[in-house]
Amino acid sequence: MTDAVVPARARSAIVIGASAGAVEALLALLPALPAYSPPILVAVHVPPDRDNMLVPLLQTRCGLHIKEAEDKEPACPGTIYFAPPDYHLLVEQTGDLALSSDEAVHYSRPSIDVLFESAADAWGAGLAGVILTGANDDGAAGLAAVARAGGFAMVQDPTQAAASAMPEAALTACPRAQPLSLAALAARLADWSAR
């Protein structure tokens, strides 16, 4: 008897990156996502000496399980994983999560580019990438990597972002990305996840 090959789920994961203005954007976006969502990995620029207060804040408002990512943990559907402060969050080829204390990228650890690029390598066309508000260009190269791998690339409309630099940089690096309002992003992600 041979082992049956089980095809990978078509919609493997969602990665989200945010910086300045992240709390408001994530409070609008994440509670609107359905419980059937694939794993959602989030990198937010948080100072290394501060706790990530988004996890407890969102736990009371979301229908999805929310936690800080742990090293070598499998990425499970219906769960939102936040990169811990002062650690890069990466995705291994197995789909498991990994944490790294390598050098900061774009002055940030966690880096959005590091997360998006590793997720694009692991999940390819089964990945959706979203860049939200922020005041630098972290995430632009990562979102372009998601698009090159065949994934779905979206950006918060810079005119509606608290800080427009990050979504603008992402649109420059990834012209295929769709600029959308937070409500439209949530609707697109729900539709994408259901396919």
Residues 6+ apart with CB under 8 A from 123: 12, 13, 91, 95, 149, 151
Helix, strand and coil in the chain, % to nearest 5: 35, 25, 45
Residue of 19, 108, 111, 118 marked catalytic = 19
CA distance 8 to 28: 30
Q: Which one of 12, 108, 137, 138 is the catalytic residue? A: 138
**45 catalytically annotated:** yes
Closest alpha carbon to 15 in 154, 141, 183: 154
Q: Tell me the residue type at 20.
A: A
Mean pLDDT by 10 residues, the chain (195 residues): 39 95 96 95 89 87 95 97 96 96 92 98 97 97 98 98 98 96 97 89
pLDDT value of position 9: 46
The verdict on whether 106 is a catalytic residue reads no
Q: Could you give all domains of the chain from N- to C-terminal order, each with its CATH number?
A: 13-194 (3.40.50.180)
Q: Which of 45, 106, 108, 111 is catalytic?
A: 45
Q: Among candidates 194, 35, 190, 43, which has minimal Cα distance to 116?
A: 43
Question: For residues 42 and 79, what is the distance between their CA atoms, to the nearest angstrom?
Answer: 11
